[in-house]
Amino acid sequence: DIQMTQSPSSLSASVGDRVTITCRASQSISTYLNWYQHKAGKAPQLLIYAASSLQSGVPSRFSGSGSGTDFTLTISSLQPEDFATYYCQQSFSDSWTFGQGTKVEIK
């Protein structure tokens, strides 16, 4: 299976900060990479698909980039509602896998 490794595992940031989360695949996955936001007690929400396409309804402060093995999710100006756990997910192989998650906490 393709392993997805996110860094950092957690981070503390303030409202208004620029936040970058990295996801690395154990082999090249082209741009078959998606990002989700997950808040405790709620269903995960799709943010970015195909590495850089913003899902409809998602604020433009979220952006994704990368291809091959290295990807990033950027929040340009962190808002109070953005404190959550973020997951990357690959769909390159037949069996799909998630990263371990990055928890974004209030500083």
Partner 1 sequence: QVQLVQSGAEVKKPGASVKVSCKASGYTFTSHDINWVRQAAGQGLEWMGRMNPNGGNTHYAKKFQGRVSMTSNSSITTAYMELSSLRSEDTAVYYCARGLFIILDGDWFDPWGQGTLVTVSS
Binding site for partner 1 (CB under 8 A): 1, 30-34, 36, 38, 43-46, 49-50, 53, 55, 85, 87, 89, 91-92, 94-101
The number of residues in the chain equals 107
* CB closer to partner 1 out of 65 and 97: 97
| Burial bucket for residue 51 (CB in 10 Å: 0-12, 13-18, 19+) | buried
Shortest separation between residue 44's beta carbon and partner 1, angstroms: 5
- Distance in Å, CB of 82 to partner 1, minimum: 18
> In whole angstroms, how close is the CB of 107 to partner 1 at the nearest point?
22
Contact 10, 107 (CB under 8 A): no
| Dist CA 65 CA 62 (whole Å) | 11
Q: Report yes or no: 6 and 92 within 8 Å, Cβ to Cβ.
A: no
Shortest distance, position 96 Cβ to partner 1, whole Å: 5
* Rounded Cα distance, 10 and 15, in Å: 16
Which tokens belong to 32?
């078959």
**17 vs 83, which CB is nearer to partner 1?**
83
34/104 with CB nearer partner 1: 34
Residue 40 vs 81, nearer CB to partner 1:
40
